[in-house]
Amino acid sequence: MNDSGGDSQLSLIEKLSRIFLDEPKDRDELMELLQKAQKRELMDLDALTMIEGVFQVSEIQVRDIMIPRSHMVVIDEETRYEDMLPMVTNSGHSRFPVIGDSRDEIIGILLAKDLLRYCNEDSRQDFDIKDVIRKPVFVPESKRLNVLLKDFRSNRNHMAIVVDEYSGVAGLVTIEDVLEQIVGDIDDEHDVEDIGNIRHLGVSRYTIKALTPIEEFNEYFESDFSDDEYDTIAGLIMKTLGHLPKRGESIVIGRYLFKVMSADSRRIKQLQLVLLPETKQADTEDD
């Protein structure tokens, strides 16, 4: 009897079990086996990328993916209903932190859908934002994404306010931000107005999309990297390292310390950048 069609009928687990004849000793060996499985077409590339993303979320911290405080779209508790509608419509978001006297005083989260009940003029007279806001959830910058995702699922929250070590508001993070680390970018019709390729997180610290053009990077940081051989920061890093880096790898180029925060077997996705003092740069180059 001909078994040529047998492989197509095997489940993914049965196919992978053929590769795991020798039990992997650690995560790196497991990923190598999975990458071999993909090359042998026992699993597709999208599945491999998502598995890699699942591994990465256990090591990435909230501070690495959060929307920084300066880019948060917030609503003042004193804002009139009529003035809220344009803000909600133009932003395209579904959830908004509501602030008191300052951005450090988050009194609640407003869901856009909760404004619908006040659309007619009669009900609008009774509108009080404190009646519709939800209790905010606060998380530290250092929280791991896998723990945050578990909390989101158990508490049925989709947004959390990120606080720094002094309890000040550092930014916000959504369940979509976490899921994108696993499945890749989740685009919608409003993402064309995204905050851009470079996010300023704090003093001398940034997150950068790996596909940021060299020209844009040079203009932002007043640097002078050449774009003759490569067009993006990812290309600059791979050219300098001589290989495709893994998540967690770091490299110093000039006064710029790049750390790979998100990557898969095909590409670099997201970087963390620290601007080094001139003295630190000189010491690094001497080494």
- Residue 190 or 139, more confident: 139
- Residue 185 or 29, more confident: 29
User: What one-character-per-residue DSSP string does 226-273 give?
Assistant: --SS-SBHHHHHHHHHSS-PPTT-EEEETTEEEEEEEE-SS-EEEEEE
Among 141, 152, 73, 84, residue whose Cα is nearest residue 118: 84
Whole-model pTM over 0.95: no
User: What one-character-per-residue DSSP string does 176-244 give?
Assistant: HHHHHHHH-----TTGGG---SEEEEETTEEEEETT-BHHHHHHHHT-----SS-SBHHHHHHHHHSS-
CATH of segment(s) 196-286: 3.30.465.10
184 contact partners, CB below 8 Å, separation of at least 6: 49, 53, 269
Mean pLDDT, the chain, integer: 81
Highest mean predicted confidence (pLDDT) among 24-28, 100-104, 118-122: 100-104
Mean pLDDT (whole number) for 227-231: 87
Residue 22 — very low, low, confident or very high, per pLDDT cuts 50/70/90? low
Radius of gyration of the chain (CA): 23
For the stretch 38-89, pLDDT in tens is: 787 777 777 777 787 787 788 888 988 888 888 888 999 998 888 888 888 8
CATH 3.10.580.10 fits 64-177, yes or no: yes
For the chain, the domains span 20-57, 64-177, 196-286
Residue 88's H or E segment, with its range, is helix 81-91
Six-digit token string for 14: 């049965």
* Out of 21-25, 110-114, 263-267, least confident range: 21-25
Report the alpha-carbon distance of residue 225 to residue 24 in Å, rounded.
41
For the stretch 163-213, pLDDT in tens is: 998 889 999 999 988 888 777 666 554 444 455 788 887 778 888 988 899
Report the alpha-carbon distance of residue 16 to residue 28 in Å, rounded.
16
Residue that is written with structure tokens 């003093």 in the block? 203
User: What b/e readout covers 132-164, taking b as 16+ CB neighbours within 10 angstroms?
Assistant: bbeebbebebebebbebbeebeeeebebbbbbe
Residue that is written with structure tokens 């000793």 in the block? 25
Angle at the Cα of 162 (from 161 to 165), degrees rounded to 5? 140
pLDDT of residue 31: 76
Residue 16 — very low, low, confident or very high, per pLDDT cuts 50/70/90? low
- Cα→Cα distances 272→131, 222, 262, 275, Å: 40, 18, 9, 10
* Out of 71-80, 87-96, 117-126, least confident range: 117-126
Report the alpha-carbon distance of residue 219 to residue 62 in Å, rounded.
28
pLDDT of residue 192: 40
Among 52, 62, 66, residue whose Cα is nearest residue 246: 52
Decide if 64-177 and 196-286 have a common fold: no
